[in-house]
């Protein structure tokens, strides 16, 4: 058979199909270059020619998400998936946008569907890893990132075509996932690869500095200090300053560490404009709404005994208690679930953009408590339900204890308390997610004190209101006598004694909180009275807390 004869047997592409392919390549190129308006025009031109061209719908969904129209993006992505149900990239992107819409259950189910298709695309695996991580499925997230990182290392020619910032982001994600799983040396290697690709990726420097205790012989201070001149905005300054402060503290340069924290936070503090007065109004409203009479009043409720809520100020031992309890055979650690606040927000239908605000709490007292409790339990599925109890360790749930008691009276409630000064300092030292406005108090040390005073007042209110349903556990007492207070915890939760609860640090499960490194060390007392190392600089905070009765 001659080449000429063979050519006659190959179907020729018609002009319409050629036009679509040309437009498709142009749309993909425009998206890659950030020319979203141009890309959208190309996609619309494709859809005029072929309404069932799935990738044009997909790209329109991506463009809508980039423009902040997330609900519209989800609807468009569903259209693309309807046309190409076996496309893992489409499903992964849908999962990502469902996370942005605060629909973790749907996001997880979508990600699981995509992962079941066994994708090999590195961007798809990276997206899936991010979705699984947000949904608390850290082992699966690690598997996705590991596969993608392996692809970077073995597909040198194709991988090199991916932008350096994308590759650095993958290595950062992989490092964070390794850190959660307790593989600290591998995490350090991944972070260093990210830094090699993108030296001014400041969040990577911050993560790296927290992986271990730095020493005079082995630290990154010189490299970190050299980066100060290159910062381009408040978030860069925040990450870099926290990294410098952490390493200075490890080297016992305490006054320098405090100065670095103040420098780190100043730009972001000005940007967000947090005021302690707004916090005080919110706390006062909660105390006024959830009176002992309201909380004790009879009404419909959800009788599930599954949830164990661990609450408190951040950095007060909540992760330690979670790890102790989740070592028990009847308990599963579901992580810092957002489900209860989100269910309250959805059911109240309050118009504000904030999840936590006075109007939402005001409307919440009128909710059907049985529906609220049942919706909360359902929202935690499919991650929960396979053990007798699950732990919800969202610290901020301390604001919702009255509502939780009404909706889920059989839930177990535990609040961690820690020395007020150590609590405030630990919050000040912590680099919280910058998009989580409810921790904006931590941009100023005295604002941490003002927030603690409000927290303490609310906990005194709950102590009187919840009539013995709440176990308040002192962090210092727990680390001094772990066995005694573990017995108290188990008794409060109605659980029989199991020896493995004292060897929680040997668990292989992931820990996706700021305490991921510390809890692997078991119980230690070195953080008790940490604030005293900082000397006279802490005196104004101490006087504020003492005058408010926090040390009475």
For residue 392, the cross-strand partners are 309
Note the pLDDT tens digit of each residue in 287-337. 999 999 999 998 899 999 999 999 999 999 999 999 999 999 999 999 999
pLDDT at 100 over 80: yes
Q: Helix, strand or coil for residue 312?
A: strand
pLDDT at 515 over 90: no
Specify whether the CB–CB gap between 75 and 97 falls below 8 A.
Answer: no
Note the pLDDT tens digit of each residue in 202-231. 999 999 999 999 999 999 999 999 999 999
Note the pLDDT tens digit of each residue in 265-300. 999 999 999 999 999 999 999 999 999 999 999 889
Torsion, Cα 402 407 413 416, to 10 degrees, reads -50
- Residue 159 has a pLDDT of 74
Cα–Cα dist 479/502, whole Å: 11
Over residues 347-368, the mean pLDDT reads 95
- Which residues have CB under 8 Å from 327's CB, separation 6+? 498, 500, 501, 503, 504, 507
- Residue 436 has a pLDDT of 84
Which tokens in the block code for residue 126? 């990276």
Specify whether the CB–CB gap between 313 and 459 falls below 8 A.
Answer: no
Question: Domain-by-domain residue ranges, the chain?
Answer: 276-522
Inter-CA distances, 491 with 401, 414, 485, 487, 496, Å: 20, 12, 10, 6, 7
pLDDT at 521 over 70: no
At 508, the pLDDT band (50, 70, 90 cuts) reads low
- Residue 552 has a pLDDT of 75
At 161, the pLDDT band (50, 70, 90 cuts) reads confident
- Residue 353 has a pLDDT of 87
At 2, the pLDDT band (50, 70, 90 cuts) reads very low
Over residues 124-149, the mean pLDDT reads 96
Q: Helix 88-100 crosses helix 54-66 at what angle (to 10 degrees)? A: 20
Inter-CA distances, 309 with 259, 289, 330, 462, 501, Å: 36, 21, 15, 14, 18
pTM: 0.89
Strands in 68-143 per DSSP E: none
Note the pLDDT tens digit of each residue in 167-190. 999 999 999 999 999 999 999 999
Note the pLDDT tens digit of each residue in 526-546. 778 899 999 999 999 999 999
pLDDT at 8 over 50: no
Top pLDDT among 310 and 3 is at 310
DSSP H helix total and E strand total for the chain: 28, 5
Weakest-pLDDT range from 195-204, 378-387, 497-506: 497-506
For residue 417, the cross-strand partners are 474
Over residues 99-124, the mean pLDDT reads 95
Superfamily of domain 276-522: P-loop containing nucleotide triphosphate hydrolases (3.40.50.300)
pLDDT at 6 over 50: no
Cα–Cα dist 84/226, whole Å: 50
Average pLDDT over the chain, rounded to whole?
Answer: 93
Cα–Cα dist 131/100, whole Å: 10
- Which residues have CB under 8 Å from 27's CB, separation 6+? 39, 42, 43, 46, 56, 59
Which tokens in the block code for residue 217? 């012989």
At 510, the pLDDT band (50, 70, 90 cuts) reads low
CB half-sphere exposure, 455, CA atoms < 13 A? 27
Phi-psi map region of 252: left, alpha, beta (phi>0 left; psi -120 to 50 alpha): left
Give CB contacts under 8 A, 24+ apart, made by 501-504. 501/324, 501/325, 501/327, 501/328, 502/324, 503/327, 504/323, 504/324, 504/326, 504/327
Note the pLDDT tens digit of each residue in 68-99. 999 999 999 999 999 999 999 999 999 999 99
């Amino acid at each position: 058979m001659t080449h000429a004869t063979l050519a006659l047997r190959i179907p020729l592409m018609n002009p319409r199909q050629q036009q679509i392919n040309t437009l498709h390549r142009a749309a993909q190129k425009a998206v890659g270059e950030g020319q979203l308006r141009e890309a959208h025009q190309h996609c619309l031109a494709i859809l005029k020619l072929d309404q069932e061209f799935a990738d044009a719908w997909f790209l329109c969904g991506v463009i809508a998400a980039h423009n902040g129209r997330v609900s519209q993006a989800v609807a468009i992505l569903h259209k693309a998936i309807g046309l190409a149900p076996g496309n893992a990239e489409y499903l992964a992107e849908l999962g990502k946008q469902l996370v942005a819409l605060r629909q973790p259950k749907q996001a997880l189910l979508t990600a699981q569907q995509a992962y079941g298709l066994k994708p090999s695309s590195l961007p798809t695996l990276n997206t899936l890893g991010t979705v699984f991580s947000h949904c608390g499925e850290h082992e699966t997230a690690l598997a996705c990132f590991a596969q993608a990182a392996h692809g970077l290392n073995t597909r040198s020619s194709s991988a090199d075509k991916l932008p350096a910032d994308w590759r650095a982001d993958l290595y950062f994600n992989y490092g964070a996932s390794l850190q959660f799983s307790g593989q600290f040396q591998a995490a350090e290697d991944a972070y260093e690869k990210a830094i090699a690709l993108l030296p001014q990726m400041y969040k990577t420097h911050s993560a790296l500095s927290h992986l271990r205790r730095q020493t005079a012989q082995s630290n990154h201070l010189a490299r970190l200090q050299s980066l100060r001149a290159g910062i381009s905005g408040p978030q860069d300054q925040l990450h870099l300053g926290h990294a410098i402060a952490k390493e200075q503290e490890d080297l016992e340069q305490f006054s320098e560490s405090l100065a670095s924290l103040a420098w780190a936070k100043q730009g972001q503090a000005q940007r967000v404009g947090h005021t302690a007065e707004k916090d005080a109004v919110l706390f006062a409203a909660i105390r006024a709404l959830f009176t002992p009479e309201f909380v004790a009043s009879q009404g419909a409720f959800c009788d599930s005994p599954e949830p164990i809520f661990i609450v408190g100020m951040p950095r007060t031992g909540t992760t330690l208690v979670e790890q102790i309890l989740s070592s028990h055979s009847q308990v599963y650690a579901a992580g810092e679930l957002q489900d209860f606040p989100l269910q309250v927000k959805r059911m109240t239908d309050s118009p504000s953009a904030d999840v936590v605000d006075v109007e939402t709490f005001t409307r919440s007292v009128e909710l059907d408590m049985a529906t609220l409790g049942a919706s909360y339990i359902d929202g935690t599925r499919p991650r929960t339900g396979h053990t007798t109890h699950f732990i919800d360790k969202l610290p901020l749930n301390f604001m919702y204890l009255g509502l939780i008691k009404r909706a889920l009276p059989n839930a177990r409630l535990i609040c961690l308390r820690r020395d007020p000064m150590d609590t405030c300092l630990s919050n000040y030292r912590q680099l919280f997610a910058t998009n989580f406005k409810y921790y904006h108090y931590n941009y100023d040390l005295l604002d941490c004190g003002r927030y603690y005073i409000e927290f303490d007042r609310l906990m005194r209110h709950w102590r009187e209101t919840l009539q013995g349903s709440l176990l308040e556990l002192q962090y210092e007492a727990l680390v001094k006598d772990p066995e005694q207070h573990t017995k108290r915890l188990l008794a409060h939760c109605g659980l029989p004694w199991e020896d493995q609860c004292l060897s929680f640090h040997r668990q292989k499960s992931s820990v996706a909180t700021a305490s991921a490194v510390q809890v692997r060390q078991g119980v230690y007392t070195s953080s008790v009275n940490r604030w005293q190392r900082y000397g006279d600089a802490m005196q104004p905070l101490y006087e504020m807390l003492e005058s408010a009765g926090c040390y009475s």
